[in-house]
Amino acid sequence: MSTPSIRVGQGFDIHPFSGDPERVMTLGGVVFDGPGLAGHSDADVIAHAVTDAILGAAGLGDIGSHFPDTDPALQGADSIELLRSAAASVRAAGWEPQNADCSVVLDAPKLAPHRDQMQERLTEALGAPVTVKGKRPEGIGALGRHEGIACWAVALVARS
């Protein structure tokens, strides 16, 4: 069986809000007002989902296998830099990222005022276009109770 010339990967990430009032909220590489998300790194659910999608598309595992939350060196890590590193691994494996698309589920903060900046940061790190869409949870489940933020992403890679 021959290797296909294009592949698709999906990614998912979810983080609860942090109880630490000093914790910074970072989404798509952009700092937002409000309580931050709990996590080992900066807990950027958007960058994490894109990283998972691009690694999966290239058949390179997941974000946890490349950047484990048990690694003390990754405490507070900038997830945009993790995405940049994952994109380099994808290229080293003979794949070229083509694009990624994300759906972020949250009520707050509002993404629209920062969408262009998030897309620019993510696109620059991936080296391919990234789009970000916000979706409301409509009061359903943990996300509807404002307990955290989730993101789904899909990415396409092509043989380089």
Residue spans per domain, the chain: 6-159
Long-range pairs for 122-126: beta carbons < 8 A, 24 or more residues apart: 122/28, 122/29, 122/46, 122/47, 122/50, 122/80, 122/83, 125/29, 125/47, 125/80, 125/81, 125/83, 125/84, 125/87, 126/50, 126/54, 126/83, 126/84, 126/87, 126/97, 126/100
* Per-residue pLDDT tens digits of the chain, which is 160 residues long: 777 899 999 999 999 999 999 999 999 999 998 789 999 999 999 999 999 999 999 999 999 999 999 999 999 999 999 999 999 999 999 999 999 999 999 999 999 999 999 999 999 999 999 999 999 999 999 999 999 999 999 999 999 8
CATH of 6-159, one of 3.40.190.170, 3.30.930.10, 3.30.1330.50, 1.10.10.10: 3.30.1330.50
Helices (H), the chain: 45-57, 63-66, 79-92, 115-126, 141-144
What is the reported pLDDT for 160?
87
Crossing angle (nearest 10°) for helices 45-57 and 79-92: 10
Residue found by looking up tokens 């958007």 in the block: 46
- Provide φ and ψ at 136, rounded to 5°: -85, 145
pTM, two decimal places = 0.96
What is residue 82's predicted lDDT score, i.e. its pLDDT?
98
pLDDT at 74: 93
pLDDT value of residue 4: 82
The strand pairing partners of 25, in sequence order, are 32
Q: What is the pLDDT of residue 2?
A: 74
